Amino acid sequence: MAKRCFLIVNPTSGSYSRSKIEAVTAALRGGGLLPELMLTGCAADAPLFARRACTEEAEPFIVVGGGDGTINGVMNGVVPGRATIGVLPFGTANVLARELKINSTDDAVQKIVRGESRPLQAGLLEAQAERKYFFLMAGIGFDGAVVENVRLGEKKILGKGAYFLSALRTLAAWDRQRLEVRADGWVVDCHSAVVCNGSKYGGDFVIARAADIFTPGFQLFCVRGGKRRTYLKLALEMVAGRAPHGQDVAFFPARELEISGGKAVQVDGDFCCHAPVRITTVEDFVRVIV
Average pLDDT over residues 33-46: 96
Q: Long-range pairs for 152-158 at CB < 8 Å and ≥24 separation?
A: 155/92
Is the per-residue pLDDT at 247 higher than 80? Answer: yes
Is the per-residue pLDDT at 99 higher than 90? Answer: yes
DSSP class of residue 239? Answer: H
Please tell us whether the domain made up of 124-281 is placed in CATH 3.20.190.10.
no
Query: Predicted confidence band at 211 (pLDDT cuts at 50, 70, 90)?
Result: very high
| Residue ranges of domains in the chain | 3-115, 124-281
**pLDDT at residue 163 in the model:** 86
Instruction: Compute the mean pLDDT over every residue in the chain, rounded to the nearest whole number.
Output: 93
Domain pair 3-115 / 124-281, same fold: no
**pLDDT at residue 115 in the model:** 96
Determine which of 97-106, 197-206, 267-276 has the lowest per-residue pLDDT on average: 197-206
Average pLDDT over residues 138-153: 93
Determine which of 37-41, 149-153, 270-274 has the lowest per-residue pLDDT on average: 149-153
**pLDDT at residue 214 in the model:** 96
**pLDDT at residue 222 in the model:** 96
Superfamily assignment of 3-115 in CATH?
A: Probable inorganic polyphosphate/atp-NAD kinase; domain 1 (3.40.50.10330)
**pLDDT at residue 169 in the model:** 93
Helices marked H in 38-100 — which ranges?
45-56, 68-75, 95-99
Q: What DSSP string describes 147-203? A: HHT--HHHHHHHTTHHHHHHHHHHHHS-----EEEEETTEEEEESEEEEESSSEETT
Is the per-residue pLDDT at 91 higher than 90? Answer: no
Is the per-residue pLDDT at 258 higher than 90? Answer: yes
C-alpha distance across the termini of the chain, in Å: 23
**pLDDT at residue 153 in the model:** 84
**pLDDT at residue 16 in the model:** 86
Is the per-residue pLDDT at 156 higher than 80? Answer: no
pTM: 0.92
> Could you tell me what percent of the chain has a pLDDT over 70?
100
283: left (phi over 0), alpha (psi -120 to 50) or beta: beta
**pLDDT at residue 202 in the model:** 80
The helix or strand, by DSSP H or E, that contains position 231, with its residue range, turns out to be helix 228-239
In this predicted model, what pLDDT tens digit does every residue of 158-190 receive, in sequence order? 877 888 899 999 999 999 999 999 998 889 999
**pLDDT at residue 29 in the model:** 96
